[in-house]
Amino acid sequence: MKTEYKIIADIIENNSSILDVGCDDGNLMEFLKANKSTNIRGIEISKEKVQTCIAKGLTVIEGNAEFDLKQFPNDSFDYVVLGQTLQAFINPELVIKELLRIGKKAIITIPNFGHWKVRLNLLIKGTMPITNSLPHNWYNTPNIHMCTIKDFVKFSETIGFKIFKSLALKNKNISNITKSNLFFKNLFGELGIFLIEK
Amino acid sequence: MNIKENIKTLIIEKPLKLDCGQTISNFPLAYETFGTLNKNKDNAILVCHALTGDQFVTGINPVTKKDGWWTYAVGPNKSIDTNKYFIICANVLGGCMGSFGPSHENPKTKKIYGTDFPVITINDIVNAQVNLLDFFGIEKLFSVVGGSMGGMQVLQFVSNFPDKAKTAIPIACTSNHSAQNIAFNELGRQAITADHNWLDGNYNLKKTVPEKGLAVARMAAHITYLSKKGLQEKFGRKLQERDDLKFGFDADFQIESYLRYQGSVFVDRFDANSYLYITRAMDYFDLVKQFNGNLSNAFKNTKTKFFVISFTSDWLYPTQENKEIVIALNAINANVGFVEIESDKGHDSFLLDVPEFLKAVKNFLDKSFIEKL
């Protein structure tokens, strides 16, 4: 997980204003606060996790990113970060649009449903894939809108936002995703990390 | 009330122009402090009390001989830690625990002010309180904290003095009193003024007290501080010291007995005219209107770090109203945190032993204190 944080931190310029959407226990926020910028805030749906963040001295509001982002004016933050949560929203399209409205740039990370283990899981077993990064059953998973790295690239074209950086993470190794290697990155990447702008 | 010797009072000489147009000067502001002000004078917390509170936040209240109203939250090693912080609390203007209020004597008429006392506002209350900072030589508070009407004062304080508080915790409050809030306050006021002992506010002349009216006001208000679920769990339909209904109008039910008790102890400690004045101040509170319909403008000049807290079962100042404050602050990119605490204890949650709440306040304050914003 630390690798993901480091990659995100490397994308962000020092002293930027940052909003972490779905900031969870605030681990990424803490990392960014220590290494990048103290001007960082979070929004988190779980009361318990908001409490954890407050105990860490982080500025977090309890809220549902699907409904509560509208309170932020346009271009409120230099960066808005959405770490592995896009797939949990009822309307990911709307969320992406909101992220790009309130942030000058957005960093989105997605667990890649196109990974070969996931594909093999479904192909061989014929049941919904359960892996280390996707440990839930189909009926209790919060991940209702899974997508692949390839899906996300396609999604950018459909919705009309620009991907400025796309990276694939595999066994703590990071590599660029390009048009020519998309097929392989989509097969072997565990996580996709995208820097996007409207 | 022979309470004078236990009350610290600051005489505010500087004229204070009230929202109603009158100017007051040389008036007393009663206050209490807890803990020690450090050398740098940067560990002070102003606690603002709610409608029926007073300056005796914690420890034994020397007047009522009961625990202070915020003993759960304020004290050594507690959420608002008196070992670390210097806590100041003033009795509000219009109050009845030593601050200038309707039970004071009007030097012109040599009579008690009663309803001749000027109508005061939350803004006036805050503008009177800020004198305590000068008195203690405090340039900037570490925090300003309060629940309910205390929360309204917190909002008004930061709005009036954008650089006088590093952090602010408005709890279970609102930026403007709703029709429902006003309605309940009016019910209380009507109960008081309908009591034939009220005598147009001059009960003092006849040495009486509108006890019944004030008690009813308190009973009605007390219901609004609790939740339906909380009441049901605590009292249900349990009978009061009897095995069956008595087919009369005595307190058959425990809840009736409880409310009557709450009413009766309240009249011993609170002045009826003060109740009228302070509820009026709450009703007049409208920070949105004060800033021409845009609450964000109330805070646009401040760097204060906010932490807004609401409670799930508070229907008097519900989460949505607290969230409006958060939204207004976010709209101007102010530094604001927010949490809604799960509790069945209704609006009163902030005064009670609600561990998640107490934890949140402690963590926020202690972390912010180290941070040295």
Please tell me whether residues B71 and B170 are part of one structural domain: yes
Alpha carbon separation from B291 to A176, B156, B275 (Å, rounded): 51, 11, 27
Q: Is B156 helix (H, G, I), strand (E, B) or coil?
A: helix
Please tell me whether residues B158 and B216 are part of one structural domain: no
- Number of independent structural domains in chain B: 2
| Across B182-192, average pLDDT | 98
Closest residue, chain A, to B305 (C-alpha): A59
Cα–Cα dist B97/B114, whole Å: 15
Positions in chain A short of pLDDT 70:
1
Please tell me whether residues B251 and B161 are part of one structural domain: no
Phi, psi dihedral angles at B47 (to 5 degrees): -100, 130
Please tell me whether residues B207 and B103 are part of one structural domain: no
Instruction: Give the domain range for residue B206.
Output: 182-279
Nearest to B171 by CA among B314, B284, B331: B314
Q: Which of B347, B348, B349, B368 is catalytic?
A: B347
Cα–Cα dist A61/A54, whole Å: 9
Phi, psi dihedral angles at B366 (to 5 degrees): -65, -40
Q: Name every chain B residue with its beta carbon within 8 A of the beta carbon of A37.
A: none
The pLDDT of residue B2 is 47
How many helical (H) and strand (E) elements, i.e. helices and strands, does chain B have?
11, 14
Q: Name every chain A residue with its beta carbon within 8 A of the beta carbon of B370.
A: 57
Nearby residues of B93 by Cβ (< 8 Å), 6 or more positions away: B27, B29, B99, B100, B101, B120, B124, B125, B128
Q: How confident is the model at residue B1 (pLDDT cuts 50, 70, 90)?
A: very low
Per-residue pLDDT tens for B162-172? 999 999 999 99
> Do the Cβ atoms of B348 and B226 come closer than 8 Å?
yes
| Across B346-366, average pLDDT | 98
Least CB–CB distance from B335: residue in A51, A59, A72: A59
Cα–Cα dist B147/B150, whole Å: 5
Nearby residues of A114 by Cβ (< 8 Å), 6 or more positions away: A148, A149, A150, A151, A186, A187, A189
Please tell me whether residues B215 and B233 are part of one structural domain: yes
* End residue of a domain, out of B254, B279, B304: B279
Distance from CA of A31 to the nearest CA of B (A): 16
Cα–Cα dist A62/B323, whole Å: 10
Cα–Cα dist B234/B266, whole Å: 21
User: Which helix (H) or strand (E) is B301 found in, with range?
Assistant: none
**pLDDT beyond 80 at B267:** yes
Please tell me whether residues B194 and B165 are part of one structural domain: no
Please tell me whether residues B153 and B104 are part of one structural domain: yes
| Across B88-98, average pLDDT | 98
The CATH number of residue B74's host domain is 3.40.50.1820
The pLDDT of residue A132 is 80
The pLDDT of residue B3 is 59
Please tell me whether residues B167 and B196 are part of one structural domain: no
Phi, psi dihedral angles at B215 (to 5 degrees): -65, -40
> Do the Cβ atoms of B177 and B286 come closer than 8 Å?
yes
> Do the Cβ atoms of A98 and A75 come closer than 8 Å?
no
Q: What is the DSSP letter of B339?
A: E
| Cα B188-B193-B197 angle, rounded to 5 deg | 125
Per-residue pLDDT tens for B123-164? 999 999 999 999 999 999 999 999 999 999 999 999 999 999
Distance from CA of A96 to the nearest CA of B (A): 19
Nearby residues of B1 by Cβ (< 8 Å), 6 or more positions away: B63, B96
Identify whether B283 is a catalytic site residue.
no
In angstroms, how far is CA A194 from the centroid of its own chain? 8
What is the ipTM for the molecules in this complex?
Answer: 0.91
Q: Is B83 helix (H, G, I), strand (E, B) or coil?
A: coil
**pLDDT beyond 60 at B373:** no
A2-197 maps to which CATH number? 3.40.50.150
The pLDDT of residue A1 is 59
DSSP string across A120-161: HIIIII-S----SS--S-TTT-S--S---HHHHHHHHHHHT-
How many C-beta atoms surround the C-beta of residue A187 within 10 A?
19
Choose the mutation target among B335, B338, B365 for the interface with A, i.e. most A CBs under 10 Å. Answer: B338
Choose the mutation target among A62, A68, A69 for the interface with B, i.e. most B CBs under 10 Å. Answer: A62
| Across B82-99, average pLDDT | 98
Q: What is the DSSP letter of B67?
A: B
> Do the Cβ atoms of B211 and B195 come closer than 8 Å?
yes
Least CB–CB distance from B339: residue in A17, A47, A71: A47
> Do the Cβ atoms of A83 and A8 come closer than 8 Å?
yes
Alpha carbon separation from B186 to B75, B103, B182, B192, B270 (Å, rounded): 35, 21, 6, 10, 17
Please tell me whether residues B195 and B262 are part of one structural domain: yes
Please tell me whether residues B148 and B295 are part of one structural domain: yes
Nearby residues of B247 by Cβ (< 8 Å), 6 or more positions away: none
Q: Cβ contact (<8 Å) for A47 and B336? A: no
The pLDDT of residue B6 is 83
Please tell me whether residues B265 and B346 are part of one structural domain: no
Nearest to A149 by CA among A129, A130, A170, A172: A170
* End residue of a domain, out of B279, B298, B327: B279
Q: Name every chain A residue with its beta carbon within 8 A of the beta carbon of B340.
A: 47, 62
Identify whether B313 is a catalytic site residue.
no
Nearest to A146 by CA among A88, A96, A190: A88
Please tell me whether residues B349 and B203 are part of one structural domain: no
